[in-house]
């Protein structure tokens, strides 16, 4: 019995000794010396893999691979740097950042995928390092300028949609006005199911399959959100215009502008904007999924 206990204790100490992770005094850099069986997850810190790790993911920080990572390496709001002679066996995923291998022919696993979206790196880094600003943004001239540009952007997008595809926008407006709750509920349930499916796919599917599926769903959500927001802006703009303006002064263009300003203001209110965004996304997905059932939305 004593011999077995000593054996187990020795094995545990050996495993612990093989896993070496330290943090620099400034608490902003995590150094992974040797963790071959560990998935390293970091928030707001730069991760440096000196020798070996199973996988690395950093929210709001860079990942620097100097040794070997047998699995995936990912970051949101950071950059992945692969040093000369370093090895990454799985996928490389950088959202709001870049992938920068120092070698022209970096050492990668067979069929390893690279997924990268380089926009808004500084904003995403600040957001992941200070999540509280997600709910209560700081009001400033920069904030107001961003909202002005947002109004201009969405007005152009909405005007273009109503010009190019007036029938599709009109049918979407009719669906949202006739059964708002039904559309939002369908969209919300579909969004939750999609989120669960993506998480399950990342866990059980091969890396390249899960990366492709996740990218396709991301594109679907973006396109659906754009179309749904256009329809909601037109719908609200027409309702407000009909209620507060005489018929002689009403116009399609002015209704679009009113709707754009209305939703931009709602999305700028601290704390409230998160609920508005979820409602917008749910309604957008619901409008896409109910697009073929046109006859069911006719007034009786």
> How many whole angstroms separate alpha carbon 21 and alpha carbon 44?
16
C-beta atoms surrounding 178 within 10 Å: 13
Query: Which of 95, 83, 58 has its CA nearest to residue 73?
Result: 58
Identify any residues that bridge with 48 across adjacent strands, giving them in sequence order. 31, 64
Strand partners, 68: 52, 87
Residue entry with tokens 């070996």: 52
| Nearest-angstrom CA–CA distance, 193 and 200 | 11
pLDDT at 135: 56
Q: How far apart are CA 50 and CA 180, in angstroms?
A: 54
Residue 124's pLDDT is 64
Contact of 278 with 214, CB cutoff 8 Å: no
Q: Please give the C-alpha separations between residue 119 and each of 125, 255, 282, 297, in angstroms, as whole numbers.
A: 11, 32, 25, 39
Instruction: List per-block mean pLDDT (blocks of 10 residues) for the chain, which spans 300 residues.
Output: 40 45 68 86 87 88 92 88 92 86 89 75 63 59 83 92 88 85 88 80 71 78 87 90 81 89 86 83 86 49
> Regarding beta strands 99-101 and 63-65, do their DSSP bridges make them parallel or antiparallel, or are they unpaired?
unpaired
Rounded Cα distance between 115 and 126, Å, is 21
| pLDDT confidence of residue 242 | 86
Q: How far is CA 263 from CA 164, 276, 285, in A?
A: 22, 9, 17
**What was the pLDDT predicted at 127?**
63
Domain boundaries, the chain: 23-128, 142-297
Of 176, 295, 290, which is closest to residue 231 (Cα–Cα)?
176
**pLDDT on residue 210:** 72
**Angle separating helix axes 272-289 and 252-266, nearest 10 degrees:** 130
Phi-psi region of 21 (alpha: psi -120 to 50; beta: other; left: phi over 0): beta
């Amino acid at each position: 019995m004593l011999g077995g206990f000593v054996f187990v204790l020795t094995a545990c100490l050996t495993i612990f000794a093989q896993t070496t992770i330290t943090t620099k005094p400034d608490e902003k850099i995590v150094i992974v010396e040797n963790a071959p069986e560990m998935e390293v997850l970091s928030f707001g810190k730069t991760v440096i893999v000196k020798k070996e790790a199973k996988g690395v993911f950093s929210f709001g920080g860079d990942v620097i691979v100097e040794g070997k990572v047998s699995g995936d390496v990912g970051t949101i709001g950071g950059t992945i740097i692969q040093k000369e002679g370093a090895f990454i066996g799985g996928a490389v995923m950088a959202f709001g950042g870049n992938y920068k291998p120092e070698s022209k022919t970096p050492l990668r696993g067979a069929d390893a995928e690279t997924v990268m979206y380089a926009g808004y790196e500084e904003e995403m880094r600040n957001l992941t390092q200070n999540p509280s600003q997600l709910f209560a943004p700081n009001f400033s001239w920069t904030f107001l300028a961003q909202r002005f540009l947002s109004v201009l952007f969405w007005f152009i997008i909405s005007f273009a949609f109503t010009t190019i595809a007036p029938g599709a926008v009109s049918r979407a407006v009719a669906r949202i006005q006739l059964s708002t709750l039904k559309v939002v509920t369908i969209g919300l349930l579909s969004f939750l199911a999609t989120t669960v499916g993506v998480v399950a796919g990342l866990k059980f599917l091969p890396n390249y399959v899960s990366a492709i599926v996740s990218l396709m769903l991301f594109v679907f959500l973006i396109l659906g959100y754009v179309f749904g927001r256009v329809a909601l802006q037109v719908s609200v703009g027409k309702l407000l215009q009909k209620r507060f303006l005489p018929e002689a002064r009403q116009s399609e263009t002015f209704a679009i502008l009113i709707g754009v300003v209305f939703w931009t203001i709602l999305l700028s209110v601290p704390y409230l904007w998160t609920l508005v965004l979820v409602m917008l996304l749910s309604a957008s997905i619901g409008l896409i999924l109910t697009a073929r059932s046109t006859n069911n939305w006719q007034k009786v």
